[in-house]
């Protein structure tokens, strides 16, 4: 299944944003550069541009999320869109046909964009395949499959500190098996030409055959962190412990928690990233999370700029609106 | 009880919208024509008009509803109103006096409009009788009594396809007994001069003496659907099954579910309507719901135009604002 | 702990609003006068001023509240701010460090103001001590400590009816012990120079040493209400009954419920206030609540003006915006 077909319109512009896989390097760079024009909006006295004024953005969060939902909502508000937040009970969408009826009803309400988060891999793609042609779908995370805006905000953050991807050695640490963030980051780093991508984690949490994605596998932190430029620490889902994939939190922290000692093995100017919210003392030590090498809070700010960029670009594909964040909304 | 008194201001304009019963034909036509001016707003690039800018609309949904609440909310946003959504717990409003205290508190907050949905028949009327004179109340469905905006969006939809009501034979199918939609539709069709109104359903779900409303009763679908121009299929509430008013879903579908075979008895250009959300395979077959004769999704779009019209008209009664959807908000 | 230091910027302007304690009389008067300029906004056809346009206000309600939250939300909307409402589960903020991570994340999203309500005394102060310098914190009620906007809306209401505080005898009736409202009111009345402040309640609900705040203690309503100009009736939390601090509702009403008979002991033009929502027949008789001496609903309206004033003033401290409610938003 090649998602890039459905993601692009006939002119090669971004119409939906479902996955990083299969996108061109130039398109990823275009997203990063568009986000650059929006990243100043958050610092203005009037944090508002009229780009999506009169558009209706529907948040379809089938799976709960505070941070992703909040940043999409803020991005939409700062683009002046109207936002519809739906409480989608599981019961109402048990049957596939019923989900489609919900979608068609929202189409009939003249929604312009769906932000979709779903526990099932492929949900955003399924929805994008079935909506009316004038609606854009943005994947806010689907199962273990993809979380493309998270990957792009991480690329944006990396590029701020290390502009040349071809010189980068990046390590992703933790539960790679269940992580849509890891999958999307590996695709993005690989398309942007990172020199080396490493995944580090216990055998139970590394997917089989992941080396076919072009990554190097490490089960030992000391070896894996050696001389890297970027460390992406993944959040440890506590369900993993209960399902016996992991022994205990303290054992996990001893082996894979990022401490100052382990960080010292990376390059001296290595940056530390985390999609948040962080579990202090489980996957990351507080001294590392709060250190000068940590760019975790920058990632949050960049998340809004990236989401504004993607929302503006997909709407541009629909209607020819220019996604430029340069001008403030005249009051 | 004649609701029309309280619904109209001294100039005969709509001040509240509580029930269709007792309204003049000219007023219903006025609502339809005002909605016509708003129906284009949803298709614009900028779906926004400034008519209710600076007004505060409070959603008082004592009974949960996704679709009605969402369309009222979108209608308010596209009219540029500020919206207040209140979570009204049952406990906080157990006593009548306490409900009045809540209303008076919202008045003191300078709310301009209450959208009310309540499980008790007469709740919207009660509220309209007790609010300050500058507040408009719109009934979003009260018990078994009335759902006037649903009826008007259905009239709007019918008129798009069959402009002359005097030539229409309309059948309403299903649980007439518990349906506020059916009651409001019968009133609207009768005021607009429909040639014949039929209700079709099992004996347990047809109210006694309903023939006094001028309708013809059928218990057999084949007879009831013969030569009709419009079929309104009602949603089957699954509680009815549990309370032993109906034998089983499959038995109901066999007798009253709208299938292609039964639809063939109606006029060849008959349209099929449903207030939604639909129960496929219970009250309607998927082939009918998705057929070219189905106008169910058009009803959703028209629901927003009707609600914008009613909100604009009641505010006009309050303040002389012109309810015209013709001009986009500048910028 | 002197909160006034942290509340004021270097020019002595209000930067956070955490407590009344320690503020200058001139600052309280400034709040009342700024609120005066906003109190007309609620009565306008277009209830909207552009003062906080493009600002992001985050509601951090760790403790549920309908009325306070709603009035802050309406105040923010009428100032044209964008609003972020967070559902903060108790579990997500069990650890102090985790609360700080939430705050820093919201800072990274470029929020401009936090409205905080929390069950723990000192929570708003703690948050104000830890946020970035460009963020203002407004206390929407913390534990038993303070509820400064409630106190100021009460001062605003009193001044409308009795402009000269130096001539006023004020009685606060009920559960003084657990009341942040009472504490903030005593501070405000005392700073504004009220002639006499009385607290009336059973021994179990009067805090030890409260006379050091300059109030007179009464356990008998007849003595305490004698010749007062203002009566503030506190809401009785029903938990108090369960925890055996009080015998029963009817016994409480007999002794401390404000009835017409007891009200007759006050001055003939005395006003009756209550922070709401009222428990009719428990702390106040319906005939008093609905009488001409009751200004309870005026308090609600004034609450929006006061919150607009405080939000505008703290943002002015941040950015030099003029907090004037005098001009409507053009268009």
Closest Cα to residue A56, out of A106, A17, A112, A16?
A112
Q: What is the pLDDT of residue A89?
A: 57
Decide if B56 and C67 are in contact by the 8 Å CB cutoff: no
Write the DSSP assignment of B214-262 as a string of letters: T-EEES-HHHHTTT-SEEEEPPPPTHHHHTTSSS-HHHHHHHH-B-HHH
Here the ipTM equals 0.90
Residue C92 with chain A: CB contacts under 8 Å = 66, 277
Interchain CB contacts (distance < 8 Å): A and C? 62
Q: How many separate domains does chain A show?
A: 2
d(CA A92, CA C296): 43
- C-alpha pair distances (Å), C67 with each of A52, A188, B281, C249: 32, 47, 45, 24
> Are residues C18 and C112 located together in one domain of the fold?
yes
Residues C124 and C182 in one domain: no
Q: Pick the residue with more confidence: C94 or C276?
A: C276
What is the model's pLDDT at position A318? 76
Nearest to A297 among C50, C104, C319 (CB): C104
CATH of the domain at A127: 3.40.50.1370
Q: Mean pLDDT over all residues of chain B?
A: 90
Region B242-253: what's the mean pLDDT? 82
Identify the closest residue of chain A to C49 by CA–CA distance: A331
Residue A326 maps to a domain: no
Angle ∠(B223,B228,B229) on CA atoms, nearest 5: 165
Predicted local distance difference test score (pLDDT) of residue A323: 57
Query: Does B330 map to a domain?
Result: no
Residues C191 and C132 in one domain: no
Residue C329 domain flag: no
Q: Within an 8 Å CB–CB cutoff, is residue C278 touching chain B?
A: yes
Contact A170, A227 (CB under 8 A): no
Residues A173 and A253 in one domain: yes
Higher pLDDT, C142 or B325: C142
pLDDT confidence of residue C3:
44
Give mean pLDDT, residues B38-62: 92
Residues pairing with C280 in the sheet: C284
User: Residue A246 — φ and ψ, nearest 5°?
Assistant: -135, 150
Residue bearing tokens 């991570």:
C101
Residue B59 touches chain C, beta carbons under 8 Å: no
What percentage of chain C reaches a pLDDT higher than 70?
Answer: 90
Pair of tokens at residue C235: 């809401």
Q: Residue A86 domain-assigned?
A: yes
Residue A324 is assigned to a structural domain of this protein: no
Check pLDDT > 70 for residue B91. Answer: no
| Residue C330 included in any domain | no
Helix, strand or coil, per DSSP, at residue A199 = strand
Whole-angstrom distance, CA of residue B321 vs CA of residue B314: 9
- Give which of B77, B95, B12 is closest to B316, Cα–Cα: B12
C278 and C291, same domain (yes or no): yes
| Residue A50: exposure state from Cβ atoms within 10 A (0-12, 13-18, ≥19) | middle
Q: What is residue C65's predicted lDDT score, i.e. its pLDDT?
A: 81
Residue C331 above 50 pLDDT? no
pLDDT for A304 beyond 70: yes
> Max Cα separation, chain B?
58
- Please tell me the predicted confidence (pLDDT) of residue B327: 47
Q: Are C177 and C205 in contact (CB under 8 A)?
A: yes
Query: Which residues make beta-bridge pairs with B58?
Result: B84, B114
| Cα-based distances in Å from A225 to A84, A189, A202, B143 | 43, 17, 14, 65
- Cα(A210)–Cα(C33) distance, integer angstroms: 67
pLDDT, tens only, A49-89: 999 999 999 999 888 788 899 999 999 999 999 999 876 75
Q: What is the pLDDT of residue A223?
A: 98
Q: What is the pLDDT of residue C43?
A: 83
Encode pLDDT of A101-143 as tens digits. 999 999 999 999 999 999 999 999 999 999 999 999 999 999 9
Do residue B169 and residue B286 come from a single domain?
yes
Q: Is the pTM of this model over 0.95?
A: no
* pLDDT class of A42 with cuts at 50, 70, 90: confident
Please answer whether residues A165 and A192 qualify as being in contact, where contact means their C-beta atoms are separated by less than 8 angstroms.
yes
The C-alpha of C26 sits at a distance from chain B's nearest C-alpha, in angstroms, of 28
Residues A155 and A90 in one domain: no
Q: What is the pLDDT of residue A97?
A: 55
From B14-23, C183-192, C234-243, the region with the lowest mean pLDDT: C234-243
In a domain, C331, yes or no: no
Mean pLDDT score, C116-124: 93
**Which residues from C are below 8 Å from A74, CB to CB?**
56, 82, 84, 109
Q: Average pLDDT for residues C186-190, to the nearest whole number?
A: 98
Interface check for B277 against chain A (CB to CB < 8 A): the answer is yes
Q: Do B331 and A110 touch (CB under 8 A)?
A: no
- Per-residue pLDDT, averaged over A168-195, amounts to 97
Q: Which two tokens stand for residue B20?
A: 């269709």
> ∠ at Cα C220 (C219, C222), nearest 5°?
155
The pLDDT, as a whole number, for residue A291 is 97
Average pLDDT over residues B73-87: 92
Query: In a 10 Å sphere around its CB, with 0-12 CB exposed, 13-18 middle and 19+ buried, how is residue A170 labelled?
Result: buried
Specify the pLDDT at position B141. Answer: 95
pLDDT of residue C302: 97
Closest-CA residue to B204 (of B215, B216, B217):
B217
The answer to whether the CB of A326 falls within 8 A of the CB of A300 is no
Output the DSSP codes for B291-322. Answer: STTB-HHHHHHHHHHHHHHHHHHHHHHHH---
- Mean pLDDT check: name the lowest of B23-32, B244-253, C164-173, C226-235: B244-253
User: Which pLDDT value is given to residue C214?
Assistant: 94
| C205-264 pLDDT per residue, tens | 999 889 999 999 999 999 999 999 999 999 998 766 667 777 788 899 999 999 999 999
Helix (H) / strand (E) containing C296:
helix C296-319
Instruction: Give the tens place of pLDDT for each residue, C269-316.
Output: 999 999 999 999 999 999 999 999 999 999 999 999 999 999 999 998
The residue behind tokens 């705050």 is: C103
C-alpha radius of gyration, chain C, whole number: 20
Report the distance separating Cα B103 and Cα B125, nearest Å: 13
Residues of C in contact with A276 (CB under 8 A): 101, 105
Nearest CA in chain C to A76: C82
Within-domain flag for C328: no
pLDDT confidence of residue B324: 54
Q: Is the CB of residue A85 less than 8 Å away from at least one CB of chain B?
A: no
Mean pLDDT within B49-67: 91
The pLDDT value given to residue B98: 79
Same domain (yes/no): A155, A56 = no
Closest CA to A73 of C106, B78, B178, B268: C106
CA–CA gap between residue C184 and residue C180 (Å, rounded): 6
Its domain, for residue B120, covers 3-145+301-319
Asked if the model's pLDDT at residue B151 lies above 80, the reply is: yes
Q: Does A261 share its domain with A214? A: yes
Note whether A104 and A198 are same-domain residues. no
Does pLDDT of B2 surpass 60? no
A279 and A311 both lie in a single domain? no
Q: For A115-164, give the DSSP string.
A: EEEESSTTHHHHHHHHS-TT-EEEEEEETTTB-HHHHHHHHHHHHHH---
- Report whether pLDDT(A4) > 90: no
User: Is A110 in CB contact (< 8 Å) with chain B?
Assistant: yes
Q: Angle at the Cα of C80 (from C76 to C83), degrees rounded to 5?
A: 50
Are C87 and C156 found together in one domain?
Answer: no
More confident residue, C292 or B5: C292
**Chain-chain contact of A105 with B278 (C-beta, under 8 angstroms):** no
Tell me: pLDDT of B1 over 50.
no
Nearest to C178 by CA among C142, C223, C213: C142
Which of A45, A156, A282 to mutate: most C Cβ within 10 Å? A45
């Amino acid at each position: 299944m090649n998602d890039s077909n459905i993601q692009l319109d006939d002119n090669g512009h971004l119409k939906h944003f479902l996955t990083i896989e299969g996108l061109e390097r130039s398109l990823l760079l275009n997203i990063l550069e568009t986000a650059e024009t929006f990243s100043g909006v958050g610092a203005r006295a009037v944090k508002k541009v009229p780009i999506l004024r009169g558009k209706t953005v529907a948040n379809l969060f089938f799976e709960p999320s505070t941070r992703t939902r909040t940043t999409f909502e803020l991005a939409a508000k700062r683009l002046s869109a109207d936002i519809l937040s739906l409480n989608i009970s599981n019961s109402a969408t048990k049957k596939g046909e019923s989900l489609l009826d919900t979608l068609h009803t929202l189409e009939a309400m003249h929604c312009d964009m769906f932000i979709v988060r779903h526990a099932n891999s492929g949900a955003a793609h399924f929805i994008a395949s079935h909506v009316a042609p004038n609606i854009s779908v943005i994947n806010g995370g689907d199962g273990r499959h993809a979380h493309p805006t998270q990957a792009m905000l991480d690329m944006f953050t990396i590029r701020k500190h290390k502009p040349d991807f071809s010189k980068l050695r990046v390590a992703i640490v933790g539960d790679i098996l269940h992580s849509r963030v890891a999958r999307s980051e590996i695709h993005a780093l690989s398309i942007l030409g990172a020199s080396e991508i490493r995944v580090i984690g216990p055998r139970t949490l590394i997917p089989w055959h992941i080396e076919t994605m072009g990554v190097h596998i490490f089960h030992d932190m000391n070896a894996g962190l050696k001389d890297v430029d970027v460390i992406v620490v993944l959040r440890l889902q506590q369900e993993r412990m209960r399902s016996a994939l992991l022994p205990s939190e303290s054992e996990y922290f001893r082996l894979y928690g990022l401490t100052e000692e382990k960080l010292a093995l990376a390059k001296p100017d290595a940056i530390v990233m985390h999609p948040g919210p962080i579990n202090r003392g489980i996957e990351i030590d507080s001294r590392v999370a709060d250190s000068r090498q940590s760019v975790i809070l920058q990632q949050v700010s960049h998340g809004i700029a990236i989401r504004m960029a993607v929302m503006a670009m997909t709407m541009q594909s629909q209607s020819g609106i220019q996604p430029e964040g340069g001008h403030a909304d005249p009051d």
